[in-house]
Amino acid sequence: MPIFSLSPVSAALVARGVSLRPVAEADADFCRAVYVESRREEMIQTGWPEEVKLAFLQDQFRLQTLHYERHYADAVRLIVEVNGLPAGRLILLDSGGEVRVVDIALLPTFRRLGIGGALIDWLLALTRDLGRPKVSLHVEPNNPARRLYEDRGFKPVEERGFSLLMECQTGG
């Protein structure tokens, strides 16, 4: 639904220089880089050569993209910009009964600056305004972002493979 790309960002996001825009074809390499950087740390333990890690992560991105296209075809795909620079991506699906954060990822340079928290706060407020009862997302149990979600009212609902489904009731 275009509502996410048409909705103004919050004052907290504006204060951080954050804006959102729809993903364009020209963003393919950037989106791949965001994925690779978001998974790079967990690849350290493999002991693989750097070129093997990179090839593996690029293939994982390709498979994830196919999965998202198949299962989240109606999702809104956004680029997160900070002061006009591409900083991350945000994929949202409004199913009418809930809003799903399909993916949220920032490049390492833009992490731990309050941007992710401000994006989630904006999304929760927007979801409430839309009258949707909840926001859901998947997170790996050991991902540091889990604490950010819990601090904003997300509760674990179900473990699914290597990820944890979390929901936040918005009262919408």
pTM (2 d.p.): 0.92
**138: helix, coil or strand?**
strand
Residue labelled with tokens 């996410």: 4
| Cα gap 4→92, rounded to integer Å | 8
Q: Which residues of the chain have pLDDT under 70?
A: 1-7, 172
* 3-class SS string, 109-129: HHCCCCHHHHHHHHHHHHHHH
Which residue, among 73, 92, 74, 86, has the nearest Cα to 29 in the 3D structure? 86
* pLDDT recorded at residue 7: 66
**Could you give the domains of the chain?**
3-169 (3.40.630.30)
pLDDT at site 9: 82
pLDDT in tens, 44-73: 889 999 999 999 999 999 999 999 999 999
Please report, rounded to a whole number, the percentage of residues in the chain having pLDDT higher than 70. Answer: 95
Q: What are phi and psi of 77, to 5 degrees?
A: -105, 120
Pairing between β-strand 99-106 and β-strand 134-139 as defined by DSSP bridges:
parallel
pLDDT value of residue 42: 87
pLDDT at position 1: 43
pLDDT given for residue 162 in this prediction = 87
Q: Are 34 and 64 in contact (CB under 8 A)?
A: no
Per-residue pLDDT at 5: 55
What pLDDT is stored for residue 130 in this prediction? 86
Q: What is the full DSSP assignment across 63-104?
A: HHHHHHHHH-TT-EEEEEEETTEEEEEEEEEE-SS-EEEEEE
